[in-house]
Structure 1
Amino acid sequence: MTWGRRWYAGALAVALLLGGCTGGDPRFRPGAADAGDPYVPGAGNGGYDVGHYALTLRYDPADDRLTGQATVTATATAGLSRFHLDLAGLTVDRVRVDGAPAKHRRDGAELVVTPAQGLPAGKRFTVEVAYGGVPQPQPLPSAELGDGGFHATPDGAIALGQPESASTWFPVNDHPSDKATYDLAVTVPDGLAALSNGVPKGTESRAGWTTWRWSEGSPMASYLTTLVIGNYRVSTGTHAGKPLVTAVAAALPADGPAATSVARTGEVADFLAGRFGPYPFEAYGGIVVADERIRYALETQTRPVYGPGFFRGGRPNTEVVAHELAHQWFGDSVSLARWSDIWLNEGFATYAEWLWAEHDGGRSVAQTFDTVYAATDWTRPSVDPGRAGMFGDAVYQRGALAVHALRRAVGDETFFRIVRGWLAERRNGTATTADFVGYAERVADHPLRPLLDAWLVGATAPTLP
């Protein structure tokens, strides 16, 4: 081979590597390897929008091994020569795009896929990924909360975590700005439950293994997915014409405070629907785990998961149930476009706790407000609190103070009209703080930004309207 031919061959190889098999076609470019959210660097991806995940999984607690087949249906939002999926620590055996074998490689927690042909903007495509391995947990932003992600337990596993967790057990665009619907079939040894989100689609047993099927037909942010496997007392029924599935770890008392608390899920949801508008999903539920490493509760869509610490002391705790169920509206149905606005989730969910406590014979909202107001550190903002402050009091408690200040400023009738209208308009979508403030101002028909700025980010204690 002459030098000129060698140079040409080398240049062609580079072009194919960079652009897939698109021959350097300028219509196609690599998709972004990051959603661009500084609170979760490296999470999420660009260039496509996922519509649906179909997951077929098998998990054996004997060796903690997970095997999976994921089919991701997406639409290209730009011409793609290659694209990324988030996948941490698992081995990929095979990738196909639209049925054709695709090249793939790992780059840390990224799965980089190069299809045989470029994907034009607007094209709907499917990605099939066969993978497996022993999933691992991952640290959460707050050390107090421990780890998120996929935890092996003595009798099964728990996949859970915020702001990230899904990428520890399936390939995903792991950012709440890209919501999708889900179908999941998970096979586990007979005698174990395999619990997830959405509507139960039945179980089937064969040769010592049972497959549990779940379907979530409303768009769901990836961190709101969960998979809980183990020995659980599962209760099934209906509420308001929709499936209600609750589960409590068999290691916890059958008549203890955990079971008593989640048994009131339907009642609490109905109370919140009276304040916020119709319940936004097709199923209800809750799961209480016994693993002490889960030191938080999470609003996993349709079926929140509660750590055991919320039910110590021998008495029920329905306020945490109210908090996580309120998230079904604030955070799940209307999700964050970016994590710096997390107060939109937590401030309203905390305020829902206050509303429920008053309704259930506890302290009044005014009493709770006075206590929290006196203890608030006004130097810490609710909006854009920094990654280390995502789960701090400024987001939860100061956020709830701002909600009550808005209520006082506009009056009950206008306040609840704002809340219900906001949730109806943004249902199944995403939003920012600026979106909420703009909507509230339109409904109230007067400026509210100065008020909310003072309560959310001001450095001194404001006066209650």
Structure 2
Amino acid sequence: MRILSTALAAVSLMALAAPADAQKITKPAPILTTPEARDVWTHARPEIARVTHVSLDLTADFAAQTMRGTATLDVLAAKGAKEVVLDIDDLPMSITAVTDERGRKLPFAIGKRDAEIGSALTVQLNGAKRITIAYASGAGASAMQWLAPALTAGKKKPYLFSQGQPINNRSWIPTQDSPGIRQTWDAKITVPADLVAVMSGERLDGAKGVPAANGMRSFRFRMDKPVPPYLIALAVGDLAFKATGPRSGVWAEPGQLDAAAHEVGDVEKMIDAAQALYGPYRWGRYDMLVLPPSFPFGGMENPTLTFLTPTIITGDRSNTDVVAHELAHSWSGNLVTNATWSDNWLNEGFTTYFENRIMEAVYGAERAAMYADLDWDGLVKDIEEAGGEAAPTTRLHGDPGATAGQLDYFKGSTFLRTIERAVGRPAFDAYLRSYFDRHAFQPQTSAGFLADIRKNLIKGDKALEAKLQLDRWTYQPGLPENAVHVTSATLTQVDAQLAAVKAGGPVSAVKPQGWATQQWLRFLNGLPRQQTPARLKELDETLGLSASSNAYVRSAWAELAIANRYDPALPSIRAFVTSVGRGLLIRPVYEGLAKQGDWGKPIAKRFFEEARAGYHPVTAAQVAKIVGAGS
């Protein structure tokens, strides 16, 4: 628990006013006292009383779609503090009692629900240092997706998984749900005996768990390093495990296991490359879980157990950048965490840059250049769709959740790549390694990062300061003129074939054999949005777009077909959106349909109503908003 003491020194995450009868727990950490460190997405007041450890004892009830049991919280309170304020989503959550360490009932109150951040659960401490909350989540918990057997790969057993980021874990764990309030945790999870539970922590009972009463069995886990609460993750299903190396392995449904293990087979090389760049991997094992198609993201960096979408399984390892990305989060995001969601670029921008360095180390400079070049395309597109260079949503630091598209990823990584080019790779690598060491297991802000890089890398060099334009990159919209654009020779070759097609040449002249996902995307996204039905038919039949097994290709093809109201593609589009739940791939499809007015919007609504049951609640809510469907 030595690391925990470091995190406790940062209890004054937010510069909020304390009541007169309560003093601060400790002197605020300098980088966390700025207004930027105030998290507007939590009700918690950690400068008065903060959660340091969460202990869960929960049973998964698949029939009722609820997690039921207790959460015991260790609370560190300032002298004179009378209460602790927690985050919950009070629509699905039912709280029956709150008690102290001696079993005495403690008064509590649930505040009015805010549509964005849920409710405050305020518990009167009466001197307690540990409180136990008896509760049940509900079927509407935004973090949880309960899948019927038909929505799994095996089609025989139900499945449950959670997705906590950014603030969804408050729907099944009553705690202080802010990325800057790091907590250790342990859990006992009881599930039907024919299912397996996995979590983002050390397994204590092996793969089979321990038999429990009434046809159930229990699994215990622990995380002895303080993590942001969004990283507490759970999955339950018909799961099997296969090792991919001495430190790593993959969990999946039995029918997917071999393909999944093959796809992520380079993970040990990635771990070695990451450690050589930025220091030791500090989380023990690095296992992965391939989820059902409804998982809403490409991956989720849950410590010790990355969650992965099955859409990366294409047989050619061309999408292993997703694995590299989630592994990189073990340093940027999990080890050093954005204190608030206004600074998500500290999480995703750093990680996208680090991911690219891992890919270069494992697969070579040209493959890394291909990913970086395609990211540049995404950055330009995001800025254009946001409204141009002056659009406020093109800032890195801004309102939480308001950044345009994937700008946190693309602009953030381009910022770091620009610094690298200016100071030289050896100097920047040395700086980043020391940065992760200095701030390990602590929250960070944009202001804190800028202060750190000025102190430890720029060191008063006025010419370098002016060259880097740090404040403009961080706080101003648009793309500074010093941005570094890495170009790919591989994608340049694709561009030549694309140019020939754009000039009217036959599609049959395109030679896509052996193309990786990134080459397909460069070609398809580079085609003019206006096409004749004959040309679309030629593209589809020649390149096999509607029948592609690559989800990225299907998504890009759907966007092009929809832009031209190409009815023959609709059966393929319907099959795609009803079988894939990854938001990155299906949101553009629904957005394209919605923009097509009287033709597209009814189609979007019809497809969504058919697909909705198979989407994670987060994705379902996003798509409902796009198509104008009721929640």
Q: TM-score range by the shorter chain?
A: 0.7 to 0.9
The code of the aligned residue for 1:163 comes to: P
Q: What is the match of residue 336 of structure 1?
A: 338
The reply to whether residue 387 of structure 1 matches residue 400 of structure 2 is yes
Aligned 8 A contact 1:51 1:181 in 2 = yes
Alignment of 1:279-290 (within 5 A): 279-290=281-292
CA displacement at 1:405 relative to structure 2: 0.6
Residue in 1 aligned with 2:21? 27
**Equivalent-residue separation in structure 1 for 2:45 and 2:159 (angstroms):** 31
Q: Are 1:165 and 2:168 matched, yes or no?
A: yes
The match for 1:18 is none
CA contact (8 A) 2:83 2:123 kept: yes
> Shift of residue 411 of structure 1?
0.9
Corresponding residue SS for 1:254: helix
Contact 1:196 1:214 in 2 (8 A): yes
- 2:328 match: 326
CA distances 1:351-378 after superposition (whole Å, capped 9, x unpaired): 1232233233363545554554465234
Q: Select 2:435's aligned residue among 417, 422, 430.
A: 422
Alignment partner for residue 136 of structure 1, among 140, 148, 155?
140
2:206 matches 1:205: no
Partners in 1 of 2:454 and 2:110 — Cα distance?
Answer: 47
Q: Root-mean-square deviation (CA), in Å?
A: 2.9
CA shift digits 1:54-97 (9 cap, x unpaired):
11111122332321211100201363222222222221121112
Q: 2:231 matched to 1:231?
A: no
* SS in structure 1 at match of 2:258: coil
Q: Are residues 373 and 153 of structure 1, via their aligned partners in 2, closer, same or farther at CA, if it must alter by over 3 Å? A: closer
The offset of 1:152, in angstroms, is 1.2
Match of 1:400 in 2: 413
1:102 partnered with 2:112: no
Structure 2: stretches of 5+ with no match in the other structure? 1-18, 26-34, 114-118, 149-157, 384-388, 485-631
Pair 168,458 (structure 1): closer, same or farther in 2 beyond 3 Å: closer
**1:249 corresponds to:** 253
1:50–1:75 CA contact under 8 A, matched in 2: yes
The equivalent residue for 1:435 is 448
In structure 2, the partner of 1:182 is: 185
1:181 shift after superposition: 0.7
2:226 counterpart of 1:219: yes
Task: Pick from 273, 276, 293 the counterpart of residue 274 of structure 1.
Answer: 276
Structure 1's unaligned 5+ residue stretches are 1-24, 139-148
- Describe the SS at the equivalent of 2:433: helix
Distance apart, 1:42 and its partner CA: 4.2
In structure 1, the residue corresponding to 2:135 is in which secondary structure?
A: strand
Name the count of aligned residue pairs: 416
Q: Which has the higher helix share?
A: 2
SS of 1:95's equivalent in the other structure is strand
Give 1:234 shift: 2.4
Distance 2:40 2:291 in 1: 27
2:61 and 2:68 in contact (8 A); partners too: no
Q: Deviations over 1:117-144 (max 9, x none)?
A: 3x4xxxx710111112424243xxxxxx
Inter-CA distance 239–437: structure 2 relative to 1 (3 Å threshold): farther
Secondary structure (helix, strand or coil) at the match of 1:229 reads: strand
Are the structure 2 counterparts of residues 435 and 461 from structure 1 closer, same or farther at C-alpha, using a change threshold of 3 Å?
closer
Between stretches 309-318 and 338-347, larger displacement belongs to: 309-318
Indicate yes or no: 2:360 matched with 1:358: yes
SS at match of 2:121: strand
Please give the alpha-carbon distance, in whole angstroms, between the structure 2 residues aligned to 1:227 and 1:442: 40
Alignment CA distance shift 1:337-1:201 (3 Å): same
Distance 2:482 2:424 in 1: 16
Q: Deviations over 1:145-189 (max 9, x none)?
A: xxxx11112213111132112211121100011101111110101
Give 1:238 deviation, angstroms: 7.0
Determine which structure has more spread, i.e. the larger CA radius of gyration.
2
Comparing 199-208 with 450-459, greater Cα deviation is found at: 450-459
